[in-house]
Structure 1
Amino acid sequence: MIDFTVLDQLLRQYVDENGRVNYQDWSQQSYQTLMNWLKTVEQLNPKSLSHPDEKLALWINLYNAFVIASVLARYPINSILPRIFGIQNWLAFLWFFSHPLPPSRRYSLNQIEHKILRREFNEPRIHFALVCAAIGCPLLRPGAYWTESVRSQLEEDASRFINNPNKVRYDLSSQTLYCSRIFKWYGDDFLKVANSIPDYIRAYLKTEIAIASHTPIIYLDYDWTLNDQRISS
Protein backbone atom coordinates (compact mmCIF):
# COMPACT_ATOMS: atom_id res chain seq x y z
CA MET A 1 0.00 0.00 0.00
CA ILE A 2 1.27 3.48 -0.86
CA ASP A 3 2.35 5.60 2.09
CA PHE A 4 0.83 9.09 1.91
CA THR A 5 2.07 10.04 5.39
CA VAL A 6 4.62 12.64 4.27
CA LEU A 7 2.14 14.36 1.97
CA ASP A 8 -0.50 14.25 4.69
CA GLN A 9 1.84 15.90 7.20
CA LEU A 10 2.80 18.65 4.74
CA LEU A 11 -0.82 19.43 3.91
CA ARG A 12 -1.74 19.54 7.59
CA GLN A 13 1.15 21.89 8.26
CA TYR A 14 0.68 24.35 5.41
CA VAL A 15 -3.04 24.27 4.49
CA ASP A 16 -5.64 25.97 6.70
CA GLU A 17 -9.31 25.11 7.27
CA ASN A 18 -10.29 27.50 4.47
CA GLY A 19 -8.21 25.62 1.91
CA ARG A 20 -5.58 28.37 1.71
CA VAL A 21 -1.93 27.40 1.41
CA ASN A 22 1.02 28.96 3.19
CA TYR A 23 3.16 28.83 0.06
CA GLN A 24 5.70 31.24 1.51
CA ASP A 25 6.68 29.04 4.45
CA TRP A 26 6.30 25.84 2.44
CA SER A 27 8.65 27.11 -0.29
CA GLN A 28 11.26 28.14 2.28
CA GLN A 29 11.02 25.21 4.68
CA SER A 30 9.67 22.09 3.02
CA TYR A 31 9.79 22.35 -0.77
CA GLN A 32 12.47 19.67 -0.99
CA THR A 33 10.51 17.42 1.36
CA LEU A 34 7.61 17.46 -1.09
CA MET A 35 9.92 16.86 -4.05
CA ASN A 36 11.62 13.94 -2.26
CA TRP A 37 8.22 12.35 -1.62
CA LEU A 38 7.25 12.78 -5.26
CA LYS A 39 10.50 11.11 -6.32
CA THR A 40 9.66 8.06 -4.23
CA VAL A 41 6.19 7.87 -5.78
CA GLU A 42 7.68 8.28 -9.26
CA GLN A 43 9.28 4.86 -8.81
CA LEU A 44 5.83 3.29 -8.56
CA ASN A 45 4.05 1.80 -11.53
CA PRO A 46 0.37 2.76 -11.12
CA LYS A 47 -0.61 -0.27 -13.17
CA SER A 48 0.70 -2.48 -10.38
CA LEU A 49 -2.05 -1.32 -8.03
CA SER A 50 -4.96 -3.71 -7.79
CA HIS A 51 -7.46 -1.90 -5.56
CA PRO A 52 -9.52 0.78 -7.36
CA ASP A 53 -9.66 3.02 -4.29
CA GLU A 54 -5.87 2.91 -3.95
CA LYS A 55 -5.57 4.10 -7.55
CA LEU A 56 -8.19 6.77 -6.95
CA ALA A 57 -6.43 8.11 -3.85
CA LEU A 58 -3.06 8.01 -5.61
CA TRP A 59 -4.12 10.02 -8.65
CA ILE A 60 -5.99 12.65 -6.64
CA ASN A 61 -3.04 13.07 -4.29
CA LEU A 62 -0.60 13.24 -7.20
CA TYR A 63 -2.66 15.83 -9.05
CA ASN A 64 -2.80 18.14 -6.05
CA ALA A 65 0.84 17.52 -5.11
CA PHE A 66 2.01 18.24 -8.67
CA VAL A 67 0.06 21.50 -8.69
CA ILE A 68 1.56 22.58 -5.36
CA ALA A 69 5.07 21.65 -6.48
CA SER A 70 4.61 23.63 -9.69
CA VAL A 71 3.48 26.71 -7.76
CA LEU A 72 6.27 26.42 -5.18
CA ALA A 73 8.85 26.27 -7.96
CA ARG A 74 7.61 29.65 -9.26
CA TYR A 75 6.60 31.34 -6.03
CA PRO A 76 5.85 34.18 -5.32
CA ILE A 77 2.99 34.54 -7.79
CA ASN A 78 -0.53 35.94 -7.40
CA SER A 79 -2.27 33.68 -9.90
CA ILE A 80 -1.50 30.43 -11.65
CA LEU A 81 -2.14 32.08 -15.01
CA PRO A 82 -0.79 35.53 -15.92
CA ARG A 83 2.63 35.30 -14.28
CA ILE A 84 3.39 31.92 -15.80
CA PHE A 85 1.99 32.35 -19.28
CA GLY A 86 1.19 36.01 -19.73
CA ILE A 87 -2.32 34.97 -20.85
CA GLN A 88 -5.45 33.73 -19.13
CA ASN A 89 -5.10 30.15 -20.32
CA TRP A 90 -5.80 27.50 -17.72
CA LEU A 91 -5.60 24.72 -20.30
CA ALA A 92 -1.98 25.67 -20.89
CA PHE A 93 -1.36 25.32 -17.16
CA LEU A 94 -2.89 21.86 -17.15
CA TRP A 95 -0.91 20.70 -20.16
CA PHE A 96 2.39 22.43 -19.40
CA PHE A 97 3.26 20.81 -16.08
CA SER A 98 4.16 17.16 -16.52
CA HIS A 99 5.78 14.67 -14.19
CA PRO A 100 7.39 11.26 -14.76
CA LEU A 101 5.87 8.00 -13.62
CA PRO A 102 6.61 4.44 -14.76
CA PRO A 103 6.45 2.89 -17.24
CA SER A 104 8.75 5.58 -18.73
CA ARG A 105 6.23 8.27 -19.49
CA ARG A 106 5.21 11.68 -18.26
CA TYR A 107 1.74 12.70 -17.14
CA SER A 108 0.38 16.21 -17.47
CA LEU A 109 -2.26 17.47 -15.06
CA ASN A 110 -4.69 17.40 -17.96
CA GLN A 111 -3.95 13.72 -18.63
CA ILE A 112 -4.36 12.77 -14.98
CA GLU A 113 -7.74 14.47 -14.82
CA HIS A 114 -9.24 13.60 -18.19
CA LYS A 115 -7.46 10.45 -19.38
CA ILE A 116 -7.24 8.66 -16.03
CA LEU A 117 -9.59 9.94 -13.33
CA ARG A 118 -12.57 10.87 -15.53
CA ARG A 119 -12.13 7.94 -17.89
CA GLU A 120 -11.41 5.13 -15.43
CA PHE A 121 -13.60 6.14 -12.48
CA ASN A 122 -17.30 6.90 -12.64
CA GLU A 123 -16.79 9.42 -9.85
CA PRO A 124 -17.99 13.00 -10.41
CA ARG A 125 -17.00 13.92 -6.85
CA ILE A 126 -13.37 14.14 -7.99
CA HIS A 127 -14.25 17.63 -9.22
CA PHE A 128 -14.60 18.71 -5.58
CA ALA A 129 -11.15 17.31 -4.75
CA LEU A 130 -8.86 18.33 -7.63
CA VAL A 131 -7.43 21.76 -6.84
CA CYS A 132 -5.54 23.78 -9.47
CA ALA A 133 -4.34 26.35 -6.90
CA ALA A 134 -7.02 28.95 -7.63
CA ILE A 135 -9.56 30.41 -5.22
CA GLY A 136 -12.32 29.40 -7.63
CA CYS A 137 -11.30 25.75 -7.19
CA PRO A 138 -12.62 23.54 -4.41
CA LEU A 139 -11.03 24.13 -1.02
CA LEU A 140 -7.83 22.15 -0.72
CA ARG A 141 -8.19 19.45 1.91
CA PRO A 142 -5.68 19.90 4.80
CA GLY A 143 -4.58 16.29 4.55
CA ALA A 144 -4.08 13.47 2.08
CA TYR A 145 -6.62 11.10 0.58
CA TRP A 146 -6.38 7.53 1.85
CA THR A 147 -7.27 4.23 0.22
CA GLU A 148 -9.59 3.14 3.01
CA SER A 149 -11.48 6.45 3.21
CA VAL A 150 -11.20 8.16 -0.18
CA ARG A 151 -14.88 7.67 -1.04
CA SER A 152 -16.10 9.13 2.25
CA GLN A 153 -13.59 11.98 1.89
CA LEU A 154 -15.01 12.76 -1.55
CA GLU A 155 -18.50 12.77 -0.06
CA GLU A 156 -17.33 15.30 2.53
CA ASP A 157 -15.74 17.38 -0.22
CA ALA A 158 -18.94 17.41 -2.25
CA SER A 159 -20.99 18.55 0.73
CA ARG A 160 -18.47 21.23 1.70
CA PHE A 161 -18.30 22.58 -1.84
CA ILE A 162 -22.04 22.69 -2.48
CA ASN A 163 -22.79 24.26 0.90
CA ASN A 164 -20.19 26.97 0.39
CA PRO A 165 -22.10 30.10 -0.71
CA ASN A 166 -19.05 31.20 -2.70
CA LYS A 167 -19.55 28.13 -4.88
CA VAL A 168 -23.30 27.49 -4.78
CA ARG A 169 -26.19 29.67 -3.66
CA TYR A 170 -29.88 30.02 -4.36
CA ASP A 171 -31.48 33.42 -4.85
CA LEU A 172 -35.01 33.19 -3.50
CA SER A 173 -36.24 36.43 -5.06
CA SER A 174 -35.34 35.38 -8.60
CA GLN A 175 -35.65 31.64 -7.90
CA THR A 176 -32.29 31.19 -9.58
CA LEU A 177 -29.46 28.83 -8.70
CA TYR A 178 -25.99 30.38 -8.85
CA CYS A 179 -23.19 27.85 -8.99
CA SER A 180 -19.56 27.30 -9.85
CA ARG A 181 -18.54 26.86 -13.46
CA ILE A 182 -17.26 23.45 -12.46
CA PHE A 183 -20.85 22.27 -12.89
CA LYS A 184 -20.83 23.67 -16.43
CA TRP A 185 -17.40 22.40 -17.46
CA TYR A 186 -18.03 18.88 -16.15
CA GLY A 187 -21.78 18.74 -16.53
CA ASP A 188 -21.68 15.42 -18.36
CA ASP A 189 -20.04 13.76 -15.35
CA PHE A 190 -22.72 14.98 -12.94
CA LEU A 191 -25.50 14.03 -15.33
CA LYS A 192 -24.31 10.42 -15.24
CA VAL A 193 -25.60 10.18 -11.68
CA ALA A 194 -28.39 12.81 -11.64
CA ASN A 195 -31.13 13.93 -14.00
CA SER A 196 -30.04 17.57 -13.88
CA ILE A 197 -27.47 19.83 -12.25
CA PRO A 198 -30.09 21.23 -9.82
CA ASP A 199 -31.00 17.65 -8.88
CA TYR A 200 -27.36 16.84 -8.14
CA ILE A 201 -26.93 19.97 -6.05
CA ARG A 202 -30.21 19.48 -4.21
CA ALA A 203 -28.99 16.09 -2.91
CA TYR A 204 -26.27 17.88 -0.94
CA LEU A 205 -27.61 21.35 -0.27
CA LYS A 206 -28.60 21.79 3.36
CA THR A 207 -31.71 23.88 2.85
CA GLU A 208 -35.46 23.48 2.81
CA ILE A 209 -35.73 25.46 -0.43
CA ALA A 210 -37.52 23.43 -3.09
CA ILE A 211 -35.01 23.44 -5.92
CA ALA A 212 -36.46 21.71 -8.98
CA SER A 213 -34.87 20.06 -11.99
CA HIS A 214 -35.87 23.03 -14.15
CA THR A 215 -34.54 25.69 -11.76
CA PRO A 216 -32.64 28.30 -13.83
CA ILE A 217 -28.86 28.32 -13.40
CA ILE A 218 -26.40 31.17 -13.64
CA TYR A 219 -22.75 30.16 -13.52
CA LEU A 220 -20.49 32.27 -11.34
CA ASP A 221 -17.28 33.91 -12.54
CA TYR A 222 -14.23 31.81 -11.74
CA ASP A 223 -11.59 33.38 -9.51
CA TRP A 224 -8.10 32.47 -10.75
CA THR A 225 -6.32 34.22 -7.87
CA LEU A 226 -3.82 31.95 -6.13
CA ASN A 227 -5.23 30.16 -3.07
CA ASP A 228 -2.50 31.73 -0.97
CA GLN A 229 -2.86 32.59 2.72
CA ARG A 230 -1.04 35.88 2.13
CA ILE A 231 -3.69 37.02 -0.38
CA SER A 232 -6.86 38.31 1.29
CA SER A 233 -10.25 37.07 0.12
Structure 2
Amino acid sequence: MSDVYTITKRATKNSLLIAGLIMLSNTVQAFEHQHTEFTKVLKNVVVSDDEKQTRVDYAKLSANPSSLNAYLASLSAVSEQEYETWSDMQQLSFLMNAYNGFTLKLIVDNYKDFAAGEAESIKDLGSIFKSPWKKEFFTLLGKERHLDGIEHGMIREWFTYPRIHAALVCAAVSCPPLRNEAFVEDKVIAQLDEQMKLFLSDDSRNKINLKEKQLVLSPIFNWYSDDFEKGYQGFNKIEDLIQTYQLDIANDPQEVEFLKTQKFTIDYFDYDWRLNDISTF
Protein backbone atom coordinates (compact mmCIF):
# COMPACT_ATOMS: atom_id res chain seq x y z
CA MET A 1 0.00 0.00 0.00
CA SER A 2 2.81 2.41 0.89
CA ASP A 3 4.59 1.67 -2.41
CA VAL A 4 1.47 2.51 -4.38
CA TYR A 5 1.06 5.70 -2.38
CA THR A 6 4.70 6.69 -2.98
CA ILE A 7 4.48 6.07 -6.72
CA THR A 8 1.21 7.98 -6.97
CA LYS A 9 2.61 10.87 -4.98
CA ARG A 10 5.75 10.99 -7.13
CA ALA A 11 3.68 10.89 -10.35
CA THR A 12 1.48 13.71 -9.09
CA LYS A 13 4.53 15.76 -8.16
CA ASN A 14 6.09 15.21 -11.60
CA SER A 15 2.84 16.17 -13.31
CA LEU A 16 2.69 19.38 -11.33
CA LEU A 17 6.31 20.12 -12.21
CA ILE A 18 5.67 19.58 -15.93
CA ALA A 19 2.54 21.71 -15.79
CA GLY A 20 4.51 24.43 -14.05
CA LEU A 21 7.21 24.39 -16.70
CA ILE A 22 4.60 24.61 -19.45
CA MET A 23 2.96 27.57 -17.75
CA LEU A 24 6.36 29.23 -17.30
CA SER A 25 7.28 28.71 -20.95
CA ASN A 26 3.96 30.22 -22.01
CA THR A 27 4.68 33.36 -19.98
CA VAL A 28 8.06 33.96 -21.65
CA GLN A 29 7.63 36.66 -24.27
CA ALA A 30 8.76 35.99 -27.81
CA PHE A 31 11.62 38.12 -29.08
CA GLU A 32 10.42 41.47 -30.45
CA HIS A 33 11.57 41.34 -34.07
CA GLN A 34 10.68 44.96 -34.85
CA HIS A 35 13.55 46.00 -32.53
CA THR A 36 11.39 48.90 -31.37
CA GLU A 37 13.56 49.81 -28.40
CA PHE A 38 16.70 50.04 -30.53
CA THR A 39 14.92 52.33 -33.00
CA LYS A 40 13.98 54.61 -30.08
CA VAL A 41 17.62 54.75 -28.99
CA LEU A 42 18.85 55.50 -32.52
CA LYS A 43 16.27 58.21 -33.20
CA ASN A 44 17.31 59.88 -29.97
CA VAL A 45 21.06 60.08 -30.67
CA VAL A 46 21.68 59.73 -34.43
CA VAL A 47 21.95 63.11 -36.15
CA SER A 48 21.96 63.82 -39.90
CA ASP A 49 22.82 67.10 -41.59
CA ASP A 50 22.62 66.16 -45.25
CA GLU A 51 20.72 62.86 -45.14
CA LYS A 52 23.78 61.10 -46.58
CA GLN A 53 26.01 60.89 -43.54
CA THR A 54 25.12 60.68 -39.87
CA ARG A 55 26.87 61.23 -36.58
CA VAL A 56 26.13 60.18 -33.03
CA ASP A 57 25.58 62.22 -29.89
CA TYR A 58 27.65 59.94 -27.65
CA ALA A 59 27.61 62.40 -24.77
CA LYS A 60 23.82 62.21 -24.69
CA LEU A 61 23.87 58.43 -24.98
CA SER A 62 26.53 57.96 -22.30
CA ALA A 63 24.59 60.19 -19.91
CA ASN A 64 21.63 57.82 -20.10
CA PRO A 65 22.59 54.40 -21.50
CA SER A 66 19.82 52.46 -19.73
CA SER A 67 17.62 52.02 -22.82
CA LEU A 68 20.54 50.82 -24.93
CA ASN A 69 21.67 48.44 -22.20
CA ALA A 70 18.15 47.04 -21.78
CA TYR A 71 17.87 46.42 -25.52
CA LEU A 72 21.28 44.73 -25.66
CA ALA A 73 20.30 42.58 -22.67
CA SER A 74 17.30 41.37 -24.69
CA LEU A 75 19.67 40.34 -27.47
CA SER A 76 21.92 38.51 -25.03
CA ALA A 77 18.94 36.63 -23.61
CA VAL A 78 18.28 34.91 -26.95
CA SER A 79 19.54 31.34 -27.01
CA GLU A 80 21.11 29.69 -30.04
CA GLN A 81 18.19 27.27 -30.10
CA GLU A 82 15.67 30.11 -30.32
CA TYR A 83 17.72 31.91 -32.97
CA GLU A 84 17.74 28.77 -35.15
CA THR A 85 13.93 28.80 -35.30
CA TRP A 86 13.84 32.25 -36.94
CA SER A 87 13.64 33.16 -40.62
CA ASP A 88 16.77 34.27 -42.48
CA MET A 89 15.67 37.90 -42.45
CA GLN A 90 14.98 37.80 -38.71
CA GLN A 91 18.43 36.35 -38.12
CA LEU A 92 20.19 38.84 -40.39
CA SER A 93 18.42 41.84 -38.82
CA PHE A 94 19.21 40.55 -35.34
CA LEU A 95 22.93 40.21 -36.08
CA MET A 96 23.30 43.58 -37.84
CA ASN A 97 21.51 45.36 -35.00
CA ALA A 98 23.68 43.47 -32.52
CA TYR A 99 26.86 44.64 -34.26
CA ASN A 100 25.79 48.28 -34.38
CA GLY A 101 24.30 48.17 -30.88
CA PHE A 102 27.31 46.62 -29.17
CA THR A 103 29.60 49.02 -31.05
CA LEU A 104 27.64 51.88 -29.49
CA LYS A 105 28.07 50.23 -26.10
CA LEU A 106 31.83 49.92 -26.56
CA ILE A 107 32.06 53.65 -27.24
CA VAL A 108 29.69 54.60 -24.42
CA ASP A 109 31.54 52.44 -21.89
CA ASN A 110 34.75 54.26 -22.81
CA TYR A 111 33.36 57.69 -23.60
CA LYS A 112 35.19 59.31 -20.70
CA ASP A 113 38.44 58.63 -22.57
CA PHE A 114 37.11 60.43 -25.63
CA ALA A 115 35.79 63.31 -23.56
CA ALA A 116 39.16 63.66 -21.83
CA GLY A 117 41.03 63.61 -25.14
CA GLU A 118 42.74 60.33 -24.33
CA ALA A 119 41.09 58.58 -27.29
CA GLU A 120 39.87 59.89 -30.63
CA SER A 121 39.22 56.62 -32.46
CA ILE A 122 37.65 53.26 -31.72
CA LYS A 123 41.09 51.86 -32.56
CA ASP A 124 42.43 53.57 -29.43
CA LEU A 125 40.27 51.25 -27.33
CA GLY A 126 42.40 48.27 -28.27
CA SER A 127 45.84 47.26 -27.07
CA ILE A 128 49.13 46.03 -28.50
CA PHE A 129 47.89 42.47 -28.17
CA LYS A 130 44.19 42.81 -29.04
CA SER A 131 42.21 45.09 -31.33
CA PRO A 132 38.93 46.57 -30.03
CA TRP A 133 37.09 44.30 -32.48
CA LYS A 134 38.59 41.25 -30.74
CA LYS A 135 37.58 42.26 -27.21
CA GLU A 136 35.01 39.88 -25.75
CA PHE A 137 32.72 42.20 -23.82
CA PHE A 138 29.22 40.83 -24.44
CA THR A 139 27.24 37.60 -24.70
CA LEU A 140 25.37 36.56 -27.81
CA LEU A 141 23.68 33.22 -28.54
CA GLY A 142 24.98 31.85 -25.28
CA LYS A 143 28.69 32.64 -25.75
CA GLU A 144 31.10 35.43 -24.97
CA ARG A 145 31.62 37.32 -28.22
CA HIS A 146 33.53 40.14 -29.87
CA LEU A 147 32.50 42.43 -32.74
CA ASP A 148 34.67 40.65 -35.30
CA GLY A 149 32.86 37.46 -34.34
CA ILE A 150 29.52 38.96 -35.37
CA GLU A 151 30.77 40.51 -38.61
CA HIS A 152 33.17 37.89 -39.92
CA GLY A 153 32.23 34.73 -38.04
CA MET A 154 28.47 35.10 -38.34
CA ILE A 155 27.14 37.63 -40.86
CA ARG A 156 29.74 37.17 -43.62
CA GLU A 157 29.92 33.44 -42.93
CA TRP A 158 26.19 32.71 -42.79
CA PHE A 159 24.76 35.21 -45.30
CA THR A 160 25.55 36.23 -48.88
CA TYR A 161 24.59 39.90 -48.86
CA PRO A 162 27.56 42.13 -49.82
CA ARG A 163 25.38 45.17 -49.07
CA ILE A 164 25.91 44.54 -45.35
CA HIS A 165 29.18 46.48 -45.75
CA ALA A 166 27.08 49.63 -46.12
CA ALA A 167 25.10 48.78 -42.98
CA LEU A 168 27.63 47.77 -40.31
CA VAL A 169 29.04 50.86 -38.61
CA CYS A 170 32.23 50.68 -36.54
CA ALA A 171 31.93 54.21 -35.09
CA ALA A 172 34.43 55.89 -37.45
CA VAL A 173 33.97 59.04 -39.53
CA SER A 174 34.55 57.13 -42.79
CA CYS A 175 32.00 54.45 -41.94
CA PRO A 176 28.70 54.23 -43.79
CA PRO A 177 25.87 56.25 -42.21
CA LEU A 178 24.36 54.77 -39.08
CA ARG A 179 20.61 54.54 -39.64
CA ASN A 180 18.28 56.16 -37.15
CA GLU A 181 16.17 53.01 -37.20
CA ALA A 182 16.79 49.33 -36.55
CA PHE A 183 16.96 46.75 -39.31
CA VAL A 184 13.77 44.69 -39.33
CA GLU A 185 12.79 41.47 -41.07
CA ASP A 186 10.11 42.84 -43.40
CA LYS A 187 12.21 45.81 -44.60
CA VAL A 188 15.81 44.67 -44.33
CA ILE A 189 16.41 44.12 -48.06
CA ALA A 190 15.05 47.59 -48.91
CA GLN A 191 17.06 49.04 -46.02
CA LEU A 192 20.27 47.47 -47.34
CA ASP A 193 19.59 48.88 -50.82
CA GLU A 194 19.00 52.32 -49.35
CA GLN A 195 22.17 52.10 -47.27
CA MET A 196 24.28 51.30 -50.31
CA LYS A 197 22.75 54.15 -52.31
CA LEU A 198 23.32 56.62 -49.47
CA PHE A 199 26.90 55.48 -49.01
CA LEU A 200 27.78 55.68 -52.71
CA SER A 201 26.07 59.05 -53.15
CA ASP A 202 28.25 60.64 -50.45
CA ASP A 203 31.04 62.40 -52.38
CA SER A 204 33.25 62.56 -49.31
CA ARG A 205 33.39 58.76 -49.20
CA ASN A 206 32.71 57.67 -52.80
CA LYS A 207 33.32 60.07 -55.69
CA ILE A 208 33.11 60.12 -59.48
CA ASN A 209 35.97 62.06 -61.07
CA LEU A 210 34.96 62.60 -64.70
CA LYS A 211 38.06 64.61 -65.54
CA GLU A 212 40.42 61.83 -64.50
CA LYS A 213 38.04 59.06 -65.61
CA GLN A 214 38.32 57.66 -62.15
CA LEU A 215 36.20 56.45 -59.27
CA VAL A 216 37.53 57.15 -55.79
CA LEU A 217 35.82 54.75 -53.42
CA SER A 218 35.76 53.93 -49.75
CA PRO A 219 38.51 51.45 -48.84
CA ILE A 220 35.70 49.24 -47.54
CA PHE A 221 35.21 48.15 -51.14
CA ASN A 222 38.90 47.25 -51.31
CA TRP A 223 39.05 45.43 -47.97
CA TYR A 224 36.02 43.31 -48.80
CA SER A 225 36.40 43.12 -52.57
CA ASP A 226 36.10 39.32 -52.45
CA ASP A 227 32.51 39.66 -51.21
CA PHE A 228 31.64 41.55 -54.40
CA GLU A 229 33.34 39.06 -56.73
CA LYS A 230 31.43 35.86 -55.93
CA GLY A 231 28.37 36.44 -58.08
CA TYR A 232 26.10 37.31 -55.13
CA GLN A 233 23.38 39.75 -56.26
CA GLY A 234 24.95 39.58 -59.72
CA PHE A 235 28.20 41.21 -58.55
CA ASN A 236 31.30 39.64 -60.09
CA LYS A 237 33.47 42.72 -59.67
CA ILE A 238 33.30 46.15 -58.04
CA GLU A 239 32.32 47.69 -61.38
CA ASP A 240 29.09 45.64 -61.29
CA LEU A 241 28.21 47.13 -57.92
CA ILE A 242 28.89 50.61 -59.24
CA GLN A 243 26.71 50.10 -62.30
CA THR A 244 23.86 48.72 -60.19
CA TYR A 245 23.79 51.54 -57.65
CA GLN A 246 25.63 54.56 -59.04
CA LEU A 247 23.59 54.50 -62.25
CA ASP A 248 20.46 54.56 -60.14
CA ILE A 249 21.52 57.65 -58.21
CA ALA A 250 23.48 59.57 -60.90
CA ASN A 251 21.80 62.81 -61.99
CA ASP A 252 24.40 64.06 -64.45
CA PRO A 253 23.98 62.59 -68.00
CA GLN A 254 27.78 62.65 -68.39
CA GLU A 255 28.14 60.56 -65.25
CA VAL A 256 25.57 58.08 -66.55
CA GLU A 257 27.42 57.56 -69.82
CA PHE A 258 30.73 57.41 -68.01
CA LEU A 259 29.49 54.70 -65.65
CA LYS A 260 27.95 52.62 -68.45
CA THR A 261 31.28 52.30 -70.25
CA GLN A 262 33.09 50.91 -67.18
CA LYS A 263 36.17 52.54 -68.75
CA PHE A 264 37.47 53.99 -65.54
CA THR A 265 40.16 53.34 -63.00
CA ILE A 266 39.42 52.85 -59.31
CA ASP A 267 41.31 54.41 -56.45
CA TYR A 268 40.48 54.53 -52.75
CA PHE A 269 40.22 57.25 -50.14
CA ASP A 270 42.20 57.11 -46.92
CA TYR A 271 40.03 55.95 -44.03
CA ASP A 272 39.23 58.48 -41.32
CA TRP A 273 39.15 56.50 -38.10
CA ARG A 274 38.16 59.41 -35.86
CA LEU A 275 35.03 58.87 -33.78
CA ASN A 276 31.76 59.58 -35.63
CA ASP A 277 30.71 61.87 -32.79
CA ILE A 278 28.77 65.10 -33.32
CA SER A 279 31.82 67.01 -32.05
CA THR A 280 34.12 65.52 -34.72
CA PHE A 281 32.34 66.65 -37.89
| Map of 1:23 onto structure 2 | 58
Q: Which SS does the other structure have where 2:236 is aligned?
A: coil
- Deviations along 1:69-114, one digit per CA (max 9) or x if unpaired, are 00000004221123x2367x9x8121114311233x1121111111
The question of whether the paired residues in 1 share the 8 Å contact of 2:136 and 2:144 is answered with no
**Change in CA separation of 1:118 and 1:153 when aligned onto 2, cut-off 3 Å:** same
Q: Which SS does the other structure have where 1:204 is aligned?
A: helix
Q: Which has the higher mean CA deviation after the structures are superposed, 199-208 or 222-231? A: 199-208
Please give the residue correspondences for 1:1-233 in structure 2 after superposition, counting only pairs within 5 Å. 2-3=31-32, 4-17=35-48, 18-29=53-64, 31-49=65-83, 50-76=86-112, 77=114, 78-82=120-124, 84-85=125-126, 92-103=131-142, 105-192=143-230, 193=232, 194-205=235-246, 206-207=249-250, 208-211=256-259, 212-213=261-262, 215-232=264-281
Which amino acid is 2:104 matched to?
I
- Deviations along 1:124-149, one digit per CA (max 9) or x if unpaired, are 01000000000111010011111111
Separation in 1 of the partners of 2:169 and 2:146?
14
Separation in 2 of the partners of 1:47 and 1:191?
33
The question of whether the paired residues in 1 share the 8 Å contact of 2:213 and 2:263 is answered with no
Q: Which has the higher mean CA deviation after the structures are superposed, 187-196 or 160-169? A: 187-196
Deviation of 1:13 after TM superposition, in Å, equals 0.7
Separation in 1 of the partners of 2:262 and 2:171?
32
Which amino acid is 1:132 matched to?
C
Unpaired runs of 5+ residues, structure 2, are 1-29, 115-119, 251-255
Separation in 1 of the partners of 2:99 and 2:105?
10
Which amino acid is 2:66 matched to?
Q
Q: Which SS does the other structure have where 1:134 is aligned?
A: coil
Q: Which SS does the other structure have where 1:221 is aligned?
A: coil
Across the aligned residues of Structure 1 and Structure 2, the Cα RMSD in angstroms comes to 1.8
Deviation of 1:2 after TM superposition, in Å, equals 3.1
Separation in 1 of the partners of 2:210 and 2:67?
48
Which amino acid is 1:210 matched to?
F
Runs of 4+ in 1 over 4 A off after TM superposition: none
Which amino acid is 1:41 matched to?
L
Which amino acid is 1:169 matched to?
K
Unpaired runs of 5+ residues, structure 1, are none
Separation in 2 of the partners of 1:214 and 1:96?
43
Q: Which SS does the other structure have where 1:137 is aligned?
A: coil
- Deviations along 1:43-81, one digit per CA (max 9) or x if unpaired, are 102442320000000000000000000000000422112
Separation in 2 of the partners of 1:60 and 1:120?
12
Structure with greater helix share of residues = 2
Separation in 2 of the partners of 1:110 and 1:86?
15
TM-score, length basis structure 2: 0.76
Separation in 2 of the partners of 1:125 and 1:47?
27
- How many residues end up aligned between the 2 structures? 227
Q: Which SS does the other structure have where 1:217 is aligned?
A: strand
Deviation of 1:198 after TM superposition, in Å, equals 1.9
TM-score, length basis structure 1: 0.91
Which amino acid is 2:204 matched to?
N
Q: Which has the higher mean CA deviation after the structures are superposed, 150-159 or 1-10? A: 1-10
State percent identity of aligned pairs: 31
Deviation of 1:214 after TM superposition, in Å, equals 5.1
